[in-house]
A and B are shown apart, each in its own frame.
Chain A
Amino acid sequence: MFLSSCIKDSPKNPEADIVSFNLDPKELTGNTFIDQANRKILLFLTKEAYDQGVMPTITVSNNATVSPVSGTKINFSASGQVTYTVTAERSENKKTYVVQVINVGDWNFEFEKWGQNSDDKWECPLEDNNTAIWSSGNQGVAISGVAKDPLAYPTRSTNDGYQGSRAAEMVTIKGTPLSAFVGIYLYAGSLFIGNFDPSSVLIQPLAATQFGEPYVGLPDRFTGYYKYSPGASFQDENQNIVQGKTDECSIYAVLFEGTQRLDGTNILTSDRVVARAVLSDGSRKSDFTRFDIPFTYRQGWTPQPGSKLMMTIVASSSKEGDRYRGALGSRLLVDNLAVIPK
């Protein structure tokens, strides 16, 4: 009673999130993703929706306000960038979100252009128009408090690319003293097409990797170049060295139905998966090695008219890195990844 009498009035809400950004599902080729870390709203629109503009229903943090208000029509063709500003109940707190319409036109990735997160300094591949189609586990690693240096993260760019260009480099690194608190002793480098949702990273890390972007047509083959050197000793999720086991890399592409992304918990098991192309040889490759893998379709599957498909590509320096197993120092380079349509 003595203590409760000391409790002061509730502080004003300082939070200024766009919590949801809803459009008519008919307008979407893929579900909208709110990239809270980079303050972006990523839209995947049909051509009609893009041409005609959309009228989103927006919810924000309690007692915050948003401008333009929910229900305002926004057009993309006219004046370039669309932004939303959220003002918290504690009104000095404001956050601006940029709307980006993502369109993966050409499924051919050369990893020549990279961006850097302004706060935490991790790198991420960018498309020519500066949109990000690729994500990695770097954002999760940032939460465990690594040094703010691109090379401290497991996924980054390298100049050691195929034919001398830049490429994506993934290295399996040691966890941090803080990640050890939650039982994580190793981070594999990873790169995937899709988005990273940090909200669940501590409670269900596999759900943080949201795989897939809309895909139009049907894929025939998955091709690219890779180079791999496994680390010296393989360790399990509790840091025990597993004698005689050599780390392997993992590279695969998955086509699936619907507009909702799959994640690390179900990308291998979902019955929405339609076709897969999986690299079978994850062993050491001292030089850049080309792969060309045909997509294997689910038996009896035929595309339904008007059905929507999504595609992801996933690469990791440790095949079991999603379970925090692998060898420290395992290094995978990928370059010139492409999905060849039928």
Chain B
Amino acid sequence: MNIHKILIVLIILLRANMASAQESNEVISKKLEHSLFIGYNFGGLAPVSFPENIRAINSYSPGFSPAIGYEVIFRLDEHWGIGSGMRLDYKGMSVRDSVQYFHTQVSVDDASVEGDFSGTNTTNVKNLYLSLPVYAVYQTDNHWTIKLGFYASRLIRPSFSGSVSDGYLRKGDSLGEKITITSATFNFDEKQRKTDFGLFAGGEKMVYKDFSVKADLQWGLRPVFPDSFTGISFNMYNIFATLGISYQF
């Protein structure tokens, strides 16, 4: 699926919602609040606790990680509501770190090599997820909206690659023979899980007419790589914050 198709689906969904809102009775229509947002994602595919094998983060950049989405909130009363929607997120990062005795097993088809790597690791991630958040909403009297719930995602365009350089591999384990590596690339695109889920939290404040500034947090609870994947010796999770603006209509 490419982005254009997804955008079309979003627009159709949106129009269907608007149409149904028009057709349904006044009461329900008043209870539904629609908004569109754009934003920018900051975060990373990160271990929850840093393993001792990572010695230094030499550089980090979120890359170009935009987010776009549609949200609908169903008002239950003056303050409370439930919300959902659909969003497209690039969840990406470029990180360059120094690792020591980092255990890895890389398999391609029937070829496999295992060992401990010490040196520089560069990882570039730019995954595109289509997500469905579901959350409780609380609106304050002074135009603050607070959201808390869950999200489920589908990975629709994977990209996870990088290189190891300026180091060496110990074949098998740390007692194996040393093999100098000046540069070797890896690509784990297709090794990632196709789905993700996690916690969703957000805050939003209406600042001008129908425009709001917003911040969301999506904290993945499912490791990005399945247990059967041995290329990285610790679990990584999608942990991303979105800063953006939304328009309510």
Whether A and B are associated in the same complex: the answer reads yes
Decide if B100 touches A143 in the complex (CB within 8 Å).
no
Could you say which of B107, B110, B116, B168 has the most chain A C-beta atoms within 10 Å of its C-beta? B110
Decide if B57 touches A202 in the complex (CB within 8 Å).
no
Give 1 or 0 for each of A301-338: 1 = CB within 8 Å of chain B CB. 00000000000000000000000000000000000000
Decide if B55 touches A93 in the complex (CB within 8 Å).
no
Query: Measured between C-beta atoms, what is the minimum distance from A141 to chain B in Å?
Result: 10
For A16, what are the chain B residues with a Cβ–Cβ distance below 8 Å? 175
Decide if B175 touches A4 in the complex (CB within 8 Å).
no
B-contacting residues, A1-25, CB 8 Å: 3-4, 6-11, 14-17
Decide if B112 touches A145 in the complex (CB within 8 Å).
yes
- Cα distance A192–B54 in the bound complex, in angstroms: 41
Q: Assess whether A144 is interfacial by the CB under 8 Å rule.
A: yes
Decide if A143 touches B180 in the complex (CB within 8 Å).
no
For B111, what are the chain A residues with a Cβ–Cβ distance below 8 Å? 144-146, 176-179
Knowing A143-B171, A145-B112, A178-B108 are in contact, say whether A4-B181 is a contact too (CB < 8 A): no
Knowing A11-B100, A145-B111, A178-B108 are in contact, say whether A198-B54 is a contact too (CB < 8 A): no
Q: Assess whether B53 is interfacial by the CB under 8 Å rule.
A: yes
- Cα distance A15–B115 in the bound complex, in angstroms: 13
Q: Assess whether B52 is interfacial by the CB under 8 Å rule.
A: yes
Decide if A11 touches B53 in the complex (CB within 8 Å).
yes
Q: Closest A residue to B109 by CB, please name it.
A: A177
Knowing A6-B50, A144-B113, A178-B113 are in contact, say whether A200-B180 is a contact too (CB < 8 A): yes
Q: Assess whether B74 is interfacial by the CB under 8 Å rule.
A: no
Query: Measured between C-beta atoms, what is the minimum distance from B113 to chain A in Å?
Result: 4
Query: Measured between C-beta atoms, what is the minimum distance from B219 to chain A in Å?
Result: 15
- Cα distance A192–B109 in the bound complex, in angstroms: 31
Give 1 or 0 for each of A59-100: 1 = CB within 8 Å of chain B CB. 000000000000000000000000000001010010100000
Knowing A7-B54, A143-B113, A177-B108 are in contact, say whether A17-B178 is a contact too (CB < 8 A): yes
B-contacting residues, A242-260, CB 8 Å: none
Give 1 or 0 for each of B21-48: 1 = CB within 8 Å of chain A CB. 0000000000000000000000000000
Query: Measured between C-beta atoms, what is the minimum distance from B91 to chain A in Å?
Result: 17
Decide if A199 touches B53 in the complex (CB within 8 Å).
no
Decide if A203 touches B57 in the complex (CB within 8 Å).
no
For A90, what are the chain B residues with a Cβ–Cβ distance below 8 Å? 174
Interface size for chain B: under 10, 10 to 19, 20 to 34, or 35 or more residues?
Answer: 35 or more
For B179, what are the chain A residues with a Cβ–Cβ distance below 8 Å? 143, 198-199, 201-202
Q: Assess whether B184 is interfacial by the CB under 8 Å rule.
A: yes
Q: Assess whether B132 is interfacial by the CB under 8 Å rule.
A: no
Partner of A10, one of B55, B107, B170, B178: B55
Q: Assess whether A119 is interfacial by the CB under 8 Å rule.
A: yes
Q: Assess whether B172 is interfacial by the CB under 8 Å rule.
A: yes
For B100, what are the chain A residues with a Cβ–Cβ distance below 8 Å? 10-11
Q: Assess whether A36 is interfacial by the CB under 8 Å rule.
A: yes
Q: Assess whether A147 is interfacial by the CB under 8 Å rule.
A: yes
For B108, what are the chain A residues with a Cβ–Cβ distance below 8 Å? 145, 176-178, 181
B-contacting residues, A195-253, CB 8 Å: 198-203
For A14, what are the chain B residues with a Cβ–Cβ distance below 8 Å? 101, 116, 174-175
Could you say which of B52, B101, B175 has the most chain A C-beta atoms within 10 Å of its C-beta? B175
Give the total number of A-B pairs whose CB atoms are below 8 A apart. Answer: 93
Decide if B113 touches A202 in the complex (CB within 8 Å).
no
For A9, what are the chain B residues with a Cβ–Cβ distance below 8 Å? 52
For A200, what are the chain B residues with a Cβ–Cβ distance below 8 Å? 180
A-contacting residues, B40-89, CB 8 Å: 49-57, 60
Q: Assess whether A268 is interfacial by the CB under 8 Å rule.
A: no
For B171, what are the chain A residues with a Cβ–Cβ distance below 8 Å? 37, 143, 198
Partner of A4, one of B56, B177, B180: B56
- Cα distance A271–B105 in the bound complex, in angstroms: 43
Decide if A203 touches B174 in the complex (CB within 8 Å).
no
For B60, what are the chain A residues with a Cβ–Cβ distance below 8 Å? 3
- Cα distance A158–B177 in the bound complex, in angstroms: 28
Q: Closest A residue to B50 by CB, please name it.
A: A6
For A93, what are the chain B residues with a Cβ–Cβ distance below 8 Å? 174-175
- Cα distance A225–B176 in the bound complex, in angstroms: 37
Could you say which of A11, A93, A179, A182 has the most chain B C-beta atoms within 10 Å of its C-beta? A11
For B184, what are the chain A residues with a Cβ–Cβ distance below 8 Å? 181-182, 202
A-contacting residues, B171-206, CB 8 Å: 171-172, 174-182, 184-186
Knowing A14-B101, A37-B177, A199-B177 are in contact, say whether A7-B56 is a contact too (CB < 8 A): yes
- Cα distance A17–B175 in the bound complex, in angstroms: 8
Decide if B50 touches A8 in the complex (CB within 8 Å).
yes
B-contacting residues, A152-208, CB 8 Å: 176-179, 181-182, 198-203
B-contacting residues, A126-164, CB 8 Å: 143-147
8 more CB-based (< 8 A) A-B contacts, given A11-B53, A17-B178, A37-B176: A7-B54, A7-B55, A143-B179, A144-B113, A177-B109, A177-B110, A181-B186, A199-B179
Q: List 22 A-B contacts (CB under 8 A).
A: A3-B57, A3-B60, A4-B56, A6-B50, A9-B52, A10-B52, A10-B100, A11-B52, A11-B100, A15-B175, A88-B174, A143-B113, A144-B113, A145-B111, A147-B110, A178-B111, A179-B111, A182-B184, A198-B177, A199-B168, A200-B180, A203-B181
The 9 closest A-B pairs by CB, nearest first: A176-B111, A145-B111, A14-B174, A177-B108, A36-B177, A6-B50, A145-B113, A8-B52, A178-B111
